[in-house]
């Protein structure tokens, strides 16, 4: 078995609590990165200006909507695994960025999260024998890769 065993419900080895803690730490850290990106995207939706305004305003709205769905799934996965969803959002963003800066900054954030999940989080949950969380994170990678493409295309 693995950390899916809630330590309050009869996990016998001391190692299990530690594994569970580290899994919850990983998922909560991802959850908070997603929340920051959600707020950043919403901020761009409000503040974007310029000739591409209509298209970007709509694109950012779709993207923060997609992120909201993912965030809810991630928080509920944490609860399903016996952890608590923790929120530590600390985003400061002035709204003066130009459209190109917004596109680049959001794209970089999506790419960084995709990379972090592919290279670190998914292998961690594969090793822990948790296909449910691997599935969630795999779908998150698909969301971030698609979002990065949608943000790259108008910047060309
Ligand atoms: Fe709106």
CA of 142 to the centre of ligand 1 (A): 24
Q: Tokens for 63?
A: 């993207």
The CATH code for residues 7-155 is: 1.20.1260.10
The tokens for 53 are: 């305004």
Q: Give residue limits of the domains in the chain.
A: 7-155
Q: State the Cα–Cα distance between residues 20 and 5, nearest whole angstrom.
A: 8
* C-alpha 43 to ligand 1 mean position (Å): 10
- Tens of each residue's pLDDT in the chain, 156 residues: 344 433 444 333 344 455 588 889 999 999 999 999 999 999 999 999 999 999 999 999 999 999 999 999 999 999 999 999 999 877 777 667 899 999 999 999 999 999 999 999 999 999 999 999 999 999 999 999 999 999 999 888
Q: How far is the CA of 156 from the centre of ligand 1 (A)?
A: 25
Measured in angstroms, how far is the CA atom of residue 57 from the centroid of ligand 1? Answer: 8
What is the separation, in whole angstroms, between the first and last Cα of the chain? 49
Please give the Cα distance from 17 to 7 (Å, whole number): 6
**Ligand 1 geometric centre to CA of 138 (Å):** 29
Q: What pTM, to 2 d.p., does this model score?
A: 0.85
């Amino acid at each position: 078995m693995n950390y899916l065993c809630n330590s309050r419900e009869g996990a016998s080895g001391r190692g299990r609590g530690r594994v569970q803690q580290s899994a919850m730490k990983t998922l909560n850290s991802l959850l908070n990165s997603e929340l920051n990106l959600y707020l950043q995207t919403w901020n761009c939706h409000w503040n974007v200006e310029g000739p591409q305004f209509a298209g970007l305003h709509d694109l950012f709205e779709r993207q923060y909507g997609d992120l909201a769905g993912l965030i809810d799934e991630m928080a509920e996965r944490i609860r399903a695994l016996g952890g608590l969803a923790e929120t530590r959002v600390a985003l400061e963003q002035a709204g003066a960025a130009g459209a190109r800066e917004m596109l680049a900054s959001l794209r970089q954030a999506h790419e960084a999260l995709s990379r972090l999940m592919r290279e670190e989080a998914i292998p961690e949950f594969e090793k822990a024998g948790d296909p449910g969380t691997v599935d969630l994170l795999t779908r998150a990678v698909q969301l971030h890769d698609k979002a990065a493409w949608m943000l790259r295309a108008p910047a060309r």
